[in-house]
Structure 1
């Protein structure tokens, strides 16, 4: 409304003017129609507080993340009750330092314990905190609360969870209670059902700590043995016992693979460099069961930054997400010609030195 040409106009009039040449005008109009449909039937204060608060959460979060999309982000989940003398606290700090050294930002829930340790290790320039307003008083940890423009306060858990998964390029889950396990299971559910593109998910605990090995035995293997998940779904997860190992796995995940786009019945894997014909043939032989129809094809596509990238696309069996992770692992292990410079793992786009 600061534009003088809009003086005296209502917000709806201003919106109508700004929509004239908007590339997503159709989707914005659909959103407005949905709001109008709700408005016809709902008169209650609670309902409109919910809608207004959720939209405000989304608007504020998009504003914070918009200028930071070029840097990949590792989200660290873990207990807010972990004390500084706990080995997990020191490990979370070390993890964040390794992540920043590899070019990643570090994202947490902005609370104490593991979250505080990760923000401490990352420092202001590489920390992002996603806090949530609770009925009782809650303060963001001091290592992110003082970071200008890097702390978000969400009104609702569901909008906070949305942005954790939407903006994360990797998840590291450390020992924690109900909240941590909720975040882990929700992440697994969204990944396994193909509602979010594949990202590395690492279970990290200090050396000698059996927290995740026991959990994997009792949950993952138990579910697989009962036929409740596919045997290869265990490959969605990777267990680590050092910060270096966790960040090395995440960095390798983006060695050749850049990102994925999931359609209704197709998947497009964007790459950092093109495959050789013999490598593509080998992938088709090894992962024929992952393809519903046809074969894995090599082509080119434009990424979100407008850069032309090599890619693989195929009709994808969405019930085989664990098998997709096996394909990505094989893909990232392929030999790359020396002259092909790969993107730094913590960056979505190549640096200025890249060809």
Structure 2
């Protein structure tokens, strides 16, 4: 085995020359770290399987990044659901309708590119508003006709790289009834939100009219997880359970009505908004959420120095606070309160 520091000292200069010869000028330090890690795996004498996993993961991520890159500024919603749902099922039609509604509002729809609910969502959005991230399996998963028509699909060997891309690019999520895969994707979303490892986003559990699939999950959460004290009572509040297509689409778009984005600068959380709140509105937020702060108050102010240096959405008004990390899951409630302020823009918006 070899120490990473020794690897860096031995090969970084040579790798930087390779990078320069390739004509790479942006993010050279990060590209060098990727190459140094690859050399390190060789010096560690990693076995062939480990190297194949690493190679495939990087290759697949590069392909996915290239697929999504042209649509960087277009808001995206990922729709999860069963590959086995037939076109005559109510939830198939619901998935198509919510995808159509969001596409008409300027969103792109991301799916797993397979049959069933994935095809329903792609049909609803249409080929020009659909992106697919498929999985290579001996059954079920081949790009559906809508995705294949525009070749807007990337195929993955590993579920972990596929799930990364289904989540990374999206500003909202709609789950319709499905099996292990759908539930796996939902619970990963909830875990990322609960732990603060992902920025807050709206999550909708959409059922057929009068359906009980997600209500059954909600009862399980209340009666087993909350009652058993393995999650907090409000952890499921960030999820909308509904059988209304209109309510589902509105939940996605309204989440971005006033709230734009967030950034941590040291221990300070910066919330960027579309409309500047009044003094009275900031005071009302302090009254409701002051107990969740580590210290101080929620303050209205301009961009912080680090944001100015990075030219990071400096044109937007801001709220700055020191949030107690224990309460990071409560960000959803704060964002919804910000969206409900009287100064917030009327009507739905989207994230940029």
CA shift, 1:17, in A, is 4.1
C-alpha distance in structure 2 between counterparts of 1:262 and 1:167, whole Å: 19
TM-score (norm 1): 0.87
C-alpha distance in structure 2 between counterparts of 1:245 and 1:304, whole Å: 36
For 1:224-303, list aligned pairs within 5 A: 224-262=226-264, 265-301=267-303
For 1:185-204, list aligned pairs within 5 A: 185-204=187-206
C-alpha distance in structure 2 between counterparts of 1:214 and 1:20, whole Å: 53
CA shift, 1:220, in A, is 4.2
Q: Is the CA contact (8 Å cut-off) linking 1:116 and 1:143 kept in structure 2?
A: yes
| Structure 2 partner of 1:145 | 148
Q: Is the CA contact (8 Å cut-off) linking 1:201 and 1:237 kept in structure 2?
A: yes
CA shift, 1:292, in A, is 1.2
C-alpha distance in structure 2 between counterparts of 1:305 and 1:131, whole Å: 33
SS of the residue corresponding to residue 233 of structure 1 reads coil
CA shift, 1:44, in A, is 3.0
| Structure 2 partner of 1:6 | none
Q: Is the CA contact (8 Å cut-off) linking 1:103 and 1:345 kept in structure 2?
A: no
CA shift, 1:42, in A, is 2.5
C-alpha distance in structure 2 between counterparts of 1:11 and 1:136, whole Å: 42
Q: Quick one: which of 118, 122, 141 aligns to 1:119?
A: 122
Which deviates more from structure 2 when the two are superposed, residues 161-170 or residues 117-126?
A: 161-170
Q: Is the CA contact (8 Å cut-off) linking 1:193 and 1:318 kept in structure 2?
A: no
C-alpha distance in structure 2 between counterparts of 1:224 and 1:266, whole Å: 30
| Structure 2 partner of 1:5 | none
Given the superposition, is the C-alpha separation of residues 31 and 298 from structure 1 closer, same or farther in structure 2, using an over 3 Å criterion? farther
Given the superposition, is the C-alpha separation of residues 184 and 304 from structure 1 closer, same or farther in structure 2, using an over 3 Å criterion? farther
Given the superposition, is the C-alpha separation of residues 192 and 254 from structure 1 closer, same or farther in structure 2, using an over 3 Å criterion? same
SS of the residue corresponding to residue 235 of structure 2 reads helix
Are residue 30 (structure 1) and residue 37 (structure 2) matched? no
| Structure 2 partner of 1:15 | 19
Q: Is the CA contact (8 Å cut-off) linking 1:197 and 1:261 kept in structure 2?
A: no
C-alpha distance in structure 1 between counterparts of 2:184 and 2:238, whole Å: 17
Gaps of 5+ in 2: 1-13
Gaps of 5+ in 1: 1-9, 349-355
Equivalenced residue count is 334
Q: Quick one: which of 327, 333, 338 aligns to 2:340?
A: 333
C-alpha distance in structure 2 between counterparts of 1:19 and 1:190, whole Å: 37
Q: Is the CA contact (8 Å cut-off) linking 2:261 and 2:351 kept in structure 1?
A: no
C-alpha distance in structure 2 between counterparts of 1:27 and 1:21, whole Å: 11
Given the superposition, is the C-alpha separation of residues 322 and 305 from structure 1 closer, same or farther in structure 2, using an over 3 Å criterion? closer
Q: Quick one: which of 345, 351, 354 aligns to 2:349?
A: 345
| Structure 2 partner of 1:352 | none
| Structure 2 partner of 1:310 | 317
| Structure 2 partner of 1:65 | 68
CA shift, 1:221, in A, is 4.7
Given the superposition, is the C-alpha separation of residues 71 and 107 from structure 1 closer, same or farther in structure 2, using an over 3 Å criterion? same
CA shift, 1:58, in A, is 1.4
CA-atom RMSD in angstroms: 2.4
Are residue 76 (structure 1) and residue 79 (structure 2) matched? yes
| Structure 2 partner of 1:40 | 43
CA shift, 1:308, in A, is 2.1
